Structure 1
Amino acid sequence: MPAATKVPLDTVVRLRLAALRLGRRLRRQSGTGLTPSQESALSALERHGSMRIGRLAEHEQIGKSTVTRLVANLEALGLIRRRPDTEDGRTWWVDVTDRGHDLLAGSTERANAYLARQLDGLSPADQRHLLAAVPALERLLEVKR
């Protein structure tokens, strides 16, 4: 791997702000009506499958009391279901309901359509540059420091 180069701070700031703004716009366009934390937890359950509430707290990097409230809210909306853990009666398993899967599918479709429209508005050169950067952005998300 080549030696790392020092990226100018102003470029780092621009990248961070662009990523934040794009994420915010995509969440708004997704139209779930959920908070970012609710949407993140629901998406994690869909991606990774059923898990104990404590594991969901670890995955989302939030406290157990916070995840308990989050789960209660998502359950009240009919997006997830809780079931007792047969091996440990002190905890619960949570998974996504059909309604939750449908909400996420519609959300993904709307966000993808928005992003495709935005990309269509760029020049072919800008489209190529952005699309060429996708693998590097994916690798950036895998770096654990």
Structure 2
Amino acid sequence: MGERTGDTAVAGRFETREDELASRLRLAVGRLNRRIRIDGSESLPPLQLSTLVTVEQHGPLRLSELARREGVTAPTMSRVLSALDEQGMVLRAPDPGDARGVLISISDDGRSRLREVRSQRTALVARRLDRLDEAQRAALAAALPALEALLVADED
């Protein structure tokens, strides 16, 4: 196996430029996301926040559908929904298509909390952007369509 132009040896194998790009992008996005969560110090755990966003975007949903979309078990989702329900951030209503089922939707308090979190996180990112020079900000702006295109395949 010959080395291709632009490839580098990594841990006994060749890493392509695409591998390096994917790795650097994953690390940068992951660390930025983690930094925003830490600096934001929201009172909602990540799964509760993610569940609220999912219900806002796709609701009303049954517990089983929420669990599937969030990639957790039904018992885990039940605990998450109980916590959100106790805080008044979700509403439960009978499923008109199945008398045994319940549909979960976001409450006005839940929408309000999401607005607060989004506003706070946007301000945190804006402060970080302020530390960049104009060329770096322009490079990020130019990369946004490509970054947003990476998300399309993951949306339901």
Fold match by TM threshold 0.5: yes
1:68 corresponding residue in structure 2: 78
1:100 corresponding residue in structure 2: 110
- Tell me the alpha carbon deviations over residues 74-122 of structure 1, each in whole angstroms, 9 at most, x when there is no partner: 1112111212223313221111111111111011111111111111110
Q: Does 1:49 align with 2:64?
A: no
Q: More displaced, 71-80 or 135-144?
A: 135-144
1:1-145 counterparts in 2 under 5 A?
A: 6-143=16-153
CA contact (8 A) 1:29 1:110 kept: no
Point out which structure has higher relative CO (alpha carbons under 8 A, 6+ apart): 1
- Unmatched 5+ stretches in structure 1: 1-5
Question: What amino acid maps onto 2:129 in structure 1?
Answer: L
Equivalents in 2 of 1:104, 1:29: separation in Å?
Answer: 16
- Unmatched 5+ stretches in structure 2: 1-15
Q: Shift of residue 31 of structure 1?
A: 4.0
Equivalents in 2 of 1:55, 1:23: separation in Å?
Answer: 26
- Tell me the alpha carbon deviations over residues 12-48 of structure 1, each in whole angstroms, 9 at most, x when there is no partner: 2221111111111222344431111111000111122
Q: TM-score, normalised by structure 2?
A: 0.80
Aligned-pair Cα RMSD in Å: 1.7
CA contact (8 A) 1:32 1:103 kept: no
CA contact (8 A) 1:46 1:96 kept: yes
CA contact (8 A) 1:81 1:96 kept: yes
Equivalents in 1 of 2:107, 2:85: separation in Å?
Answer: 9
Q: What is the aligned-residue identity percentage?
A: 36
Question: What amino acid maps onto 1:40 in structure 2?
Answer: S
**Computing the radius of gyration over CA atoms, which structure comes out larger, 1 or 2?**
2
Q: TM-score, normalised by structure 1?
A: 0.86
